Amino acid sequence: MDAFGLLLPHLDERQQRLMLGAAARVLGHGGIRMVAGAAGVAESTVSRGKRELEHAEEPAGRVRAPGAGRKPLREADPGLVPALLALVEPDQRGDPESPLLWTVKSTRNLAAELTRQGHRVASDTVATLLKAEGFSLQGTSRTTEGARHPDRDAQFRYINDQVTAYLADGQPVISVDAKKKETLGNYAVIGREWHRAGQPVQVRAHDFPEKGAQKAVPYGIYDIGADTGWVSVGCDGDTSAFAVATLRRWWNGEGHRRYPHASRLLVTADAGGSNGYRVRAWKKELADFAYESGLDVTVCHFPPGTSKWNKIEHRLFSQISINWRGRPLTSHEVVVSTIGATTTRSGLSVHAELDPGAYPTGVTVPDTVMERLPLTPHEWHGAWNYTLRPEPLAPEPPPPSTEFGRFPTGDKLPAWLRHPSLTGLEPAAFDDLAVRYRAWRAEHPPIFLPGKRPDGGPGAGGRRLSVSDQLVVFLLKRRWSMTNTVLAEATGLAKSRIGATLQEVTPVLTALGHKIPTGALTVTTAQQLAAIAGHDPTLP
């Protein structure tokens, strides 16, 4: 088609049309659009030339002089282009109340609105003007990831350092996640496969799942060091128990043979879902696995909104999606077979198996169990990075003291958090406040609904904090304007417990008229709090 660029400048307008029309006739169906695109002319010009050939019109004997004819609309109507740009870019160049702000901006709609505004123009001319201004038809780009955590990049570096150290020491490193649930049946799957012409796979006309349609729940493990995958295809819920059951299957089936001398296991996971950093059941199930396997299990979570950076997403799940494109997933066996057949030229191999087990949702883990887990938060973002030791659960705490009825005796928080520079109270003043707090609570016992057991009663264990710890939490929160997240990191308590403690202590200290001196700054990290008290974070 380069011949057009060489020959057309030497022909007059009619000869150009005839040449382009002849080329379109030779090409047949779709030739007009193809020739117009190659020659850089309007389709109407090619169509007119083709029509002139078919009607065998005699030459008129004259040719329009160069520059003759109508002026381009850009010159004849100087306000046309600004009016067009005001419609397509209302938030940048025009009125945010543009008439087409909520309308599909097709060239026909744009031409109609411009004509209504007094700029007579056709849709083809609108398309030409838009291209000249640098516009093109584009879809959306999935780049917005939500709120960006300030420590996001530092967490990526921390994960990278952990992975590098584990691999250098010959310890296993895995990436885990759940793939999207798939509805089983004769439903369409995005993608195409080779079939004989006119013989596509017949699927249902609608993608709405039938009532009671079965689901396939793939949960995957990608071994970063070995470039291998393991996928369990579940038939029930995507729960933490199912996730750790898949991890257990991988370790018993492949992991312990591939890493016979392993003493540690590093797991990288995203921040949400069944393996999220806030999910208690995930940590409880991992603690059980660590005890069974004898491994120190370290988990590093990717920051919220960054799950696409997890290795398993683009090394395993993307390849599985490519392998089953255009293929209806009619049964669990088809899903397992298709996943197991996934390979890449770089050597990826995948083991897949069906897990018919039942994994009910709604399983809760109480505070009394969470507090006994052999879990050690890392100094850097302990909520995202933690290690579960291969130990059984700690013994249950002793029953609460009967001396004051509802108040347990044992303090759980580190002693340095009671430092006068943090609480604003010298030890004697702190003890006096605790005595007055106990006395007020004893004189004003809480009222409980019938059948409800008071906190700290028989069987309550260590669910509640001691009076000393309750006061420490309240004083730190109010004195230093800390968020519950930072306070949880500093104390090791769950944010739910911190919230309940604040709700319980606030009315008591208000009634006692206790005034809290405001700190000199707003504490935003646990490290800041330790620095104020002169405490070494490496010490307990």
| pLDDT of 163 above 90 | yes
pLDDT digits (tens, 9 = 90+) for 233-270: 988 888 999 999 999 999 999 899 999 999 999 999 98
Question: 10 Å Cβ neighbour count for 195?
Answer: 10
Q: 246-266 burial string, b = 16+ CB within 10 Å, else e?
A: bbbbbbeebbeeebeebebbb
Which residue bears the tokens 């960006």? 148
pLDDT value for 269: 92
| pLDDT of 449 above 60 | no
Over range 108-113, report the average pLDDT. Answer: 89
pLDDT value for 92: 43
pTM over 0.85: no
Higher pLDDT, 210 or 511: 511
C-alpha–C-alpha distance, residues 258 and 251, integer Å: 9
Alpha carbon 246 to chain centroid distance?
22
pLDDT value for 320: 78
pLDDT digits (tens, 9 = 90+) for 486-514: 888 888 888 888 988 999 999 999 999 88
C-alpha–C-alpha distance, residues 100 and 57, integer Å: 44
pLDDT value for 285: 93
pLDDT value for 173: 94
User: Which of 7-16, 42-51, 90-99 reaches the highest mean pLDDT?
Assistant: 42-51
| pLDDT of 433 above 90 | yes
Higher pLDDT, 314 or 390: 390
Residue 307: partners with Cβ closer than 8 Å, 6 or more residues away: 177, 270, 271, 272, 313
Which is nearest to 160 in space by CA: 255, 224, 254, 66?
Answer: 224
| pLDDT of 121 above 70 | yes
Higher pLDDT, 42 or 140: 42
Q: Are 347 and 261 in contact, with CB atoms under 8 Å apart?
A: no
pLDDT value for 36: 87
pLDDT value for 322: 77
Specify the range with the lowest mean pLDDT, choosing from 48-52, 213-217, 254-258.
213-217
Average pLDDT over the chain, rounded to whole?
Answer: 81
How does residue 115 score in pLDDT terms, banded at 50, 70 and 90? Answer: very high
pLDDT value for 462: 46
C-alpha–C-alpha distance, residues 167 and 306, integer Å: 23
Q: Are 174 and 221 in contact, with CB atoms under 8 Å apart?
A: yes
Tokens of 414: 């580190």
Specify the range with the lowest mean pLDDT, choosing from 209-223, 322-336, 362-376, 447-461.
447-461
pLDDT value for 453: 46
Handedness of CA 133, 137, 140, 141 (dihedral sign): negative
Residue 310 CB burial class (10 angstroms; 0-12, 13-18, ≥19): buried
The Cα angle at residue 418 between residues 412 and 423, in degrees rounded to 5: 130
pLDDT digits (tens, 9 = 90+) for 392-426: 888 876 654 444 334 444 567 888 888 889 998 99
User: Which of 198-202, 447-451, 511-515 reaches the highest mean pLDDT?
Assistant: 511-515
